[in-house]
Amino acid sequence: MFEDLKKSIDKGLDYAFMNAEKLAKAAKDMAKENKLTKEEAKKLYDHLVAKSEEARKNVETELQALVKNTLKKMDIPSKDELKKLEDRVKKLEGGKKTPVKPKPAPRVAKNPAMKTKK
């Protein structure tokens, strides 16, 4: 009994992440096994598709919340926070954005006494 329940749960999770083609095949196989009419098979397929989309959306929502919380705990600023800081810096600089000039490479003086022998 417990094993049957576990198998049902596992199957349900598998169906949740199948694409439409695999769901159609699964619905067709289940319809054959359970001797369903075409109308019942269509309803089963529609139900599987709806539940699959619902499960994907739930997982996506949970994953987004997890990532957001993790980034917050790591004290990593969001895109919006960075944009606000950039705007604030521009305002403080008077709206001018001055390019950063690279420092020139140091010059090495040529010393005739340090010539290499050939």
For residue 35, is it within any domain?
Answer: yes
The total number of structural domains that make up the chain: 1
Give the list of residues 6+ apart from residue 97 with CB closer than 8 angstroms, or none.
Answer: 90
Residue 102 lies in a domain: no
Residue 11 identity: K
Residues 28-84 pLDDT 10s: 888 888 888 888 888 888 888 888 888 888 888 888 999 888 888 898 888 899 999
**Residue 115: inside a domain, yes or no?**
no
How far is Cα of residue 82 from the mean position of the Cα atoms in its chain? 20
Residue 111 lies in a domain: no
pTM for this predicted structure: 0.49
In a domain, 79, yes or no: yes
Residue 106 lies in a domain: no
116, pLDDT greater than 60: no
Q: Domain range spanning residue 66?
A: 2-95
What pLDDT, on the 0 to 100 scale, is given for residue 85?
94
> Does 113 reside within a domain?
no
